[in-house]
Amino acid sequence: MLTIIGLGPGNPGQLTLEALDAMEGAGNLFLRTAVHPVVPYLEKRGIVFESFDALYEEKDSFEGVYQAIVDEILALAREKDVVYAVPGNPFFAEKTVTGLTARCDGEGIPCRVIGGMSFIDVAMAELGIDAVEGLKVIDAYELESQLPDKHCGNLITQVHSRHVASEVKLFLSEYYADDFEVTLIINGGIPGEQVIKRLPLYQIDREDRINHLTTLYLPPLPDDNRDFTNLLRVMATLRAPGGCPWDREQTHESLKPYLLEEAYEAVDAIETGDMDNLVEELGDVLFQIVFHAQVGKEEGIFTINDVIEGINEKMIRRHPHVFGTAHADTPEQVAQKWDAIKKKEKSTSTLSDEMDRIPAAYTALMTAGKLQSKAGKVGFDWDDPRPALDKVYEEAGEVRKELEGNDPAALEEELGDLLFAAVNVIRLSGFQPELVLKKGNAKFKRRFGAMENLAEKEGRSLSDYSLEGLETLWQGAKSLNLAE
C-alpha cells in the first residue's frame, strides 16, 4: 500500500489531522525533501522519516531526481506499506506524485492520497483574491507553454532563486510593462517568516530573500493594449450597433484596397529602415486581418480562430523537416518540399494549373515574375541574367520596328514582350520586379524634386525650360546623388 500525503505550505497548523495520524503511524515514512518548515515540528513529535535530498546533489536534473524517487518508492511499495510526504498539496506542482499514481495504477499497487493545503490557498488568503474570478497557476519552468492570461490573476510557482526570477522577468517583459506592479510571496503562511512584497516587475530579481518557497503573483490586466484579445474587442465594438458608421458598412470587397495599401506601406517602412514606422504599419496590416475576420464572424462563415488554426496547420504541414521526420538541409531542398506539398494541397497536376492559380489581384509585374519562376521549374529558364538581357535588346528592336509601322495592336504586343523580358532580367538578378520599379519610381521623384529646386534657384519654373534645358537640370539633379 502506498499512501501519499500533503504537508501543506509550511505552517504546522495547516497540517491536516488525517495527514498527521498517517505519519505518526507509519513504519516507513519518506519525505521528498526535508527542506520544509514543517519538518522541525515532525521531529519534535518524534516522527521518524527519511528524505531524498541526497538525490538533488547526485542527479544532473530535476527530472532525474523525480524519476529516481518514483522508482525507489515503487520498489518499496511492492513489498511493504509506504507513506510518502510532499510539500503543499500532492496534486499541485508535484511531478513525483503524478508519476507514482500513474505507475501504481498500471501495476495494480493500492494507492491513496491525503490532501493538504497548497501555496494557492495561502496566496488567495494573503492577496484577498477569489479564484472563482479567475486564477491561473503557472510553473516558472513552463512559461513558454503556459502563457499568462491577462484577464485573470496568475500565480507563478517555483521562482526559487534570483536567477529564476531574472529569467521570469525577462520573459514577462514581452507581455507586461517594466513598471507593472506584481507581488512576491515568500514563505507564505509561515508565522514570523512570511514576506508579501509588492514591487515593479523589473525589480523582482533584486529581492535577496527569494527562496524555494517563493511565488510570484500577476494581477489581472484586462484592458491592456498589448493583448490580442483586446484588439478583437475593439474591432467588434467598431462594428457593433452604435459603433463607427464607416467601419460598420465595410465588406470584404470594400476592404480590398486597404489591405493592399497597408501591405505596401509596411514594405515601404522596411525599405526605409524605419522600425518605429514598421511597428505601426504591421499593426495596420494586422488590423485589416482582424477586420476581415470580424466580417466573416458576423456572416457566420469564419472567425479569427479559423484563420489562426488554418495558418498553424499549414505551416506545420509544409515544414515536415521541422515538425515531422523529413529532412531538408538547404533552402533549395526546403523550396522543393514546399512546392511538392503545395501542389498536392491545391490539386494542381501541371504547371499550367499552377499558373492559373496565380491571384488575379497581383500586379502585372508580380504576375510576370511568378509565371517565369514556375516555368523555370522544368528548366525553361536561363541560369544567368545576361542572356535574358540580350532578349531585352531583341524585344527592344521589335518595338522600334513597330514604332515605325502603323499597327497599334502589334505595338502593344511588342511592348508587353519588352516589359516581360525586362522582368526576367530583374528576377534572374535576384530582385523582386515590383520592388525594383518601386525604388526606381522613388528615385525619379527625388531627382524631379531636385530639378524643381534647381530651377527655383534660377528664379524660373520647369515650364520655362526647353527640353534641352530640362535635360541639363536632370543631369544636375543626378550629380547631387540624393540618397541614391
Give me the DSSP letters along 18-55: HHHHHHHT-SSEEES-S-STTHHHHHHTT---EE-HHH
pTM of the model: 0.63
For residue 353, pLDDT over 80 is answered with no
| Enclosing domain of residue 444 | 435-479
232 located within any domain: yes
Last residue of one domain, picked from the residues 86, 117, 148: 117
Last residue of a domain, one of 74, 102, 117: 117
* Domain CATH number, residue 210: 3.30.950.10
Q: How confident is the model at residue 329 (pLDDT cuts 50, 70, 90)?
A: confident
Instruction: Decide if pLDDT at 483 tops 80.
Output: no
- If asked whether residues 8 and 50 sit together in one domain, one would say yes
Phi-psi category of residue 144: left, alpha or beta, with phi > 0 → left and psi -120 to 50 → alpha: alpha
- Domain total in the chain: 4
pLDDT digits (tens, 9 = 90+) for 387-417: 999 999 999 999 999 999 889 999 999 999 9
Rounded mean pLDDT, 426-443:
88
**Does 377 fall in a domain?**
no
Does 141 lie in the same domain as 39? no
- 70 in any annotated domain: yes
| Residue 484 counted as domain residue | no
Query: Does residue 392 belong to any structural domain of this protein?
Result: no
Please say if the pLDDT value at position 161 is more than 70: yes
Q: Do residues 25 and 101 share a domain?
A: yes
Q: What is the dihedral of CA 216, 219, 220, 224, to 10 degrees?
A: -90
CATH code of the domain containing 298: 1.10.287.1080
Q: Let me know if residue 335 belongs to a domain.
A: no
Q: Residue 482 — pLDDT band, cuts 50, 70, 90?
A: low
- The answer to whether residues 137 and 244 belong to one domain is no
d(CA 183, CA 390): 71
Same-domain pairing of 31 and 84: yes
The residue among 253, 270, 302 that closes a domain is 302
The sign of the dihedral angle between the CA atoms of 263, 265, 267, 269 is negative
316 inside domain? no
Average pLDDT for 164-188: 94
Contact 129, 110 (CB under 8 A): no
Q: Name which residue leads in pLDDT, 440 or 167.
A: 167
Are 107 and 132 found together in one domain? no
pLDDT digits (tens, 9 = 90+) for 39-58: 999 999 999 999 999 998 88
What CATH code is carried by the domain that includes residue 18? 3.40.1010.10
Q: What would the grid cell of residue 320 be?
A: 515536415
132 shares its domain with 214:
yes
Shared domain check, 100 and 185 = no
pLDDT tops 80 at residue 238? yes
Instruction: Report if residue 342 sits inside a domain.
Output: no
